Amino acid sequence: MTPSIRQDKIVILSNRGPNDFVWRNGAWVVERASGGLVSMLAPLAQGSGTTWFCCVSEPPDAAGERDGLFTTAADQCAEFDVVPLPMPPDVYQAYYGRISNEVLWMLQHHMLGPGGYELIDHVRYRAWSIGYFEANRRLAAAVKETCVAPRAFLVQDYHLYPLPALLRRYFPGVPSLHFTHIPFPEPNVLRLLPRPWREAILHGMLGADLVGFQTEEDRQAFLGCCKYAIGREVDERAKTVRALDGRTVKVGVYPASVDPDDLLALQKGPRVAEARERFADSRTEFSIVRVDRLDPSKNQLVGFKAFARLLETRPDLHGRVRFRAFLVPSRTDHTVYRDYKATIYREIDRINDAFGPTSGFLPIEVFYTNDREQALAALERCDVLLVNSKEDGMNLVAKEWATIATHPGVLVVSETAGVAEEAQDSALTVSPLDVEETMQAMVRALEMPLAERESRLRRFRSRVQSWTASHWLDAQLADLGLKAKKG
């Protein structure tokens, strides 16, 4: 069985789609995927005018298992028109694990050296060709086979840099965009990749008519890479780049955001209410909260070290403050992630052993699970939201908090998170590796007068309300020459 033909659709392409396809006990199980990318594109994708391609690894014990996947997608993904593209496990692992996660994610979050992006050897060269490039090629071929007269292509993120150029070969007149959700590297960082790879990445992106980024800094980095790494002509004023075939490619900034109505509805639901009650039973005078994927780029370790310094320097706060850390499991088969988790847990144990006795409870409480409603219940009443990523495309948790907070807390955010730009007049900003500054910012937040906390939160909330997920999407569709069309 092959997926049926789609005609006149807007085609979204991303590694992870709106549904996760999980191979469990010999059958495909469909789950609703989470994350910013999915929630921002879902309103468009819920309409009948859209088809969404995503990548799925065939199960290692049942390679070639495809028919069941297509049938499952057709039968069970009622909300969206999803086309999962099955890939042999070795192709998928090389594309997603070896290149997207171990090379591009690390490089684009400036995680260089041991534990991050280190070197390119023959194994990586092979992963690039049989995995990364191959996966992009297969996606383009699948679109060619199954789509007739598509209206537009919306290509998402670092997994699919080469794709716009590949699609253009088959569909030269179809408008297309590429959006990068994570930070874009400046020319000297991109130059750490082999020359043919950077060329495939940049020329691949320039296959689109519109290339989008989260922040002005990312846009500038991309323009710099086009100019210095591949010698393209860049118009700094118009923010355009001339592609190899002479087309002018527009480079835009579209900060990712949240859907306030959706969040407020979720906040009113029974699962948040249950969690709210559980937390009320163990309320302390102050709570510091963080919610992020367990990922070295999120910099949880420094956050805990800063909290330890807070307890060391302020014995008067013992027994009055608790740090609730919601760590979402991520890329758990990757050694770097497993090692990072072990390091974090050692640090948490050390802090809880040292300060538990004088606090009367464990000062750090960890929730290692992906439970959005539970996290919202803790976020809405926190005194400090800590977002101290080493580098972050945007960080939607900060915007979620600003939307649902029922108590005036303070955002402590690293300057290197995309959201810092929009929160600069409302948050306390810190340098992500500076433990002392992070500790001082948390103390300042805890001691900030009520009126100041309220006015900071009000400012950030109105900023978020004035640029939501639908602005993010509509602005891109408009710049691509399409009117937002939902049905």
The residue ranges that bind ligand G6P (CB under 6 A) are: 16, 35, 37, 157, 181-182, 330-331, 393
Shortest gap between Cβ of 246 and ligand G6P (angstroms)?
A: 31
Query: Minimum distance from CB of 120 to ligand G6P (Å)?
Result: 21
Beta carbon nearer to ligand G6P, 35 or 252:
35
Which is closer to ligand G6P, CB of 35 or CB of 89?
A: 35
Give the shortest CB-13-to-ligand G6P separation in angstroms: 12
Nearer to ligand G6P, 37 or 155 (CB): 37
Nearest CB to ligand G6P, comparing residues 310 and 397: 397
3-state SS string over the chain?
A: CCCCCEECCEEEECCCCCEEEEEECCEEEEEECCCHHHHHHHHHHCCCCEEEEEEEECCHHHCCCCHHHHHHHHHHCCCCCEEEEEECHHHHHHHHHHHHHHHHHHHHCCCECCCCECCCCHHHHHHHHHHHHHHHHHHHHHHHHHEECCCEEEEECHHHCCHHHHHHHHCCCCCEEEECCCCCCCHHHHCCCCHHHHHHHHHHHCCCCEEEECCHHHHHHHHHHHHHHCCCCEECCCCEEECCCCCEEEEEECCCCCCHHHHHHHHCCHHHHHHHHHHHHCCCCEEEEEEEECCHHHCHHHHHHHHHHHHHHCHHHCCCEEEEEEEECCCCCCHHHHHHHHHHHHHHHHHHHHHHHHHCCCCEEEEECCCHHHHHHHHCCCCEEEECCCCECCCHHHHHHHHHCCCCCEEEEECCECCHHHHCCCCEEECCCCHHHHHHHHHHHHHCCHHHHHHHHHHHHHHHHHCCHHHHHHHHHHHCCCCCCCC
Nearer to ligand G6P, 81 or 391 (CB): 391
Min separation Cβ 182 and ligand G6P, Å: 5
Q: Which residue is nearest to ligand G6P (CB)?
A: 181
CB of 156 to ligand G6P, least distance (A): 7
Min dist. Cβ of residue 15 to ligand G6P (A): 6
Nearer to ligand G6P, 14 or 146 (CB): 14
Smallest gap from residue 402 Cβ to ligand G6P (A): 18
Q: Which is nearer to ligand G6P, 16 or 276 (CB)?
A: 16
